[in-house]
Amino acid sequence: MINVLYVGSVSACFELENNLPYYCENEYTVTLDGTEVLATNTNVFSLFSLHPGREYTLCVTGNEPIKFTTKTETCAVSVKDFGAVGDGRHDDTAAIQTAVNCLPAGGRLFFPEGTYFSGSITLKSHIILNFSENATLLGSGDPEKYPVIPGAVQDIVTGEAVQTGTWEGNSVPMHSALLCTEYAEDITIIGPGTVDGDAQHSRWWVNVKDREIARPRLIFFNRCKNVTIHGITAQNAASWQLHPYYSENIDFFDVSVNAPKDSPNTDGLDPEACDNVNIIGCKFSVGDDCIAIKSGKIDLAKLYEKPADHHTIRNCLMQFGHGALTLGSEIAGGVKNLTVNRCVFNKTDRGLRIKTRRGRGKLCVIDGVLFENIKMNGVLSPITMNMWYNCCDPDRFSEYNTTREKLPVDYRTPFLGKFTFRNMVCENCEVCACYCDGLPEMPIDDITVENIKFTYSEQAEPNFPTMKNNNTKLCRAGMYFDNVNKLTVKNVEIIGNDGEALIANNVGSLIKE
């Protein structure tokens, strides 16, 4: 069965319905109106260079043909008609911005083959950016090309704050992204070309902790809705690659996100306090978390009370990076209605990674989360739940955040509810199979680990399972749980571990089958 994920005016994305993570069983061919156009073995595939307003017949090996019709558009214009050169040296910023400004609603701005050297570009509502094959938007390394956006400005009539800039869960000044949009709607960015921050040839990755103004993201959407990013390669951002912020109805289909493994804070995709986000068929290889779902720190959470809601992550490939799929740590608004399935994780430090801490607040409620049908290989620690995360906060070494004593529950205390991990194969683990560490005053409420097989690498080396104070390195450890109300372990196989397969401290109810 073939699911239609997206059909635009000149591109479309489809998904094979099966129970296999990311890859299907065999390579298949795709024909369009009787002509073979693609051979692949991934569950998600895309078509480009289609014609607007036309019906097509799609055939995939072993499936019945389906018909689809591309959308219409008001116009399609080339960025070169506005003076863009595309030689990788000439500054095309003004030409690209002029083209965006002039584009009618429903129009498509086309980037033909070339390298378009540019600073920050501000997008607007009701437009399509189309990067053709071998077309690259190449970011400048000059900070002056990325205007500083304040964290918030004051409405001169009402005195209320208008939020504009952000970094790591706080409203603070930041450099504008290479592609930046605020308070807009109906925006589409499609490939198969590339958006490249080129940070490796700049000073953006040098002395990152000493910067007073947050580094630019590659693509940033603030309080936007109905945004689709399809088929592009996004890479080498100064910081996070893709960052939708307090936005809704955001789709990422068949996107590739790349950064060197040692690059600082180059998260792949960080939806923050967003509603209805689909991340399907995407591929990540980055220097930090591949996907990190966030909802701000405590001040923004109290101001807006906006959780990360209705997120679906499916048929994705995550490689390298600190975490394949992460919740937090700036998660003070909470997370609900999250499903992650049919994904492959290769050689990430952690697989499914939940990180929070005292001080995220009572609105930090993460509940009803399902992770299933996932294959991991070479992941150091496949499952981690850490309520003692010790990074990114001035008070991270304080007594409040280090003591293992039971503290009073108050407005600063987060809550982790029900989590289900099931139907997984985790091969060549190194540090541990599972490490879940709750707070003594607020244990993790309910964890189910079901139908999972863990095996270990013969070359495993000791390392830290999570990032917390008073840490201890482990190697080929089994499953560790501390401060959990209810724990269910069903049909879990652990092969090659050193020491006990299951350690359960301060667990209220343990069901083992």
Residue in 405, 344, 385 with CA at minimum distance from that of residue 487: 385
Q: How far is CA 417 from the centre of its chain?
A: 22
Q: Indicate which residue of 196, 267, 275, 288 is catalytic.
A: 288
Structure tokens at 332: 């003070």
Q: Which amino acid is at 186?
A: D
Region of 503 please: left (phi>0), alpha (psi -120 to 50) or beta: beta
Q: Is 126 a catalytic residue?
A: no
Phi, psi of 388 (to 5 degrees): -125, 25
Strand pairing report for 415-416 and 365-377: parallel
Catalytic pick among 251, 322, 393, 446: 322
The secondary element (H helix, E strand) that includes residue 304 is helix 298-304
Q: Which residues contact 353 (CB under 8 A, 6 or more apart)?
A: 289, 322, 323, 324, 325, 326, 327, 384, 386
- Is 322 considered catalytic here? yes
Question: Could you give the residue ranges of the DSSP H alpha helices within 74-121?
Answer: 93-102
500: three-class secondary structure by DSSP: coil
Beta-strand (E) ranges in 192-327?
A: 194-196, 219-222, 225-230, 233-235, 242-245, 248-253, 256-258, 275-280, 283-286, 291-293, 308-314, 317-320, 323-327
CA–CA distance, 411 with 282 (Å, rounded to integer): 37
Instruction: With beta carbons less than 8 A apart as the criterion, state whether 332 and 169 touch.
Output: yes
Catalytic residue annotation: 288, 322
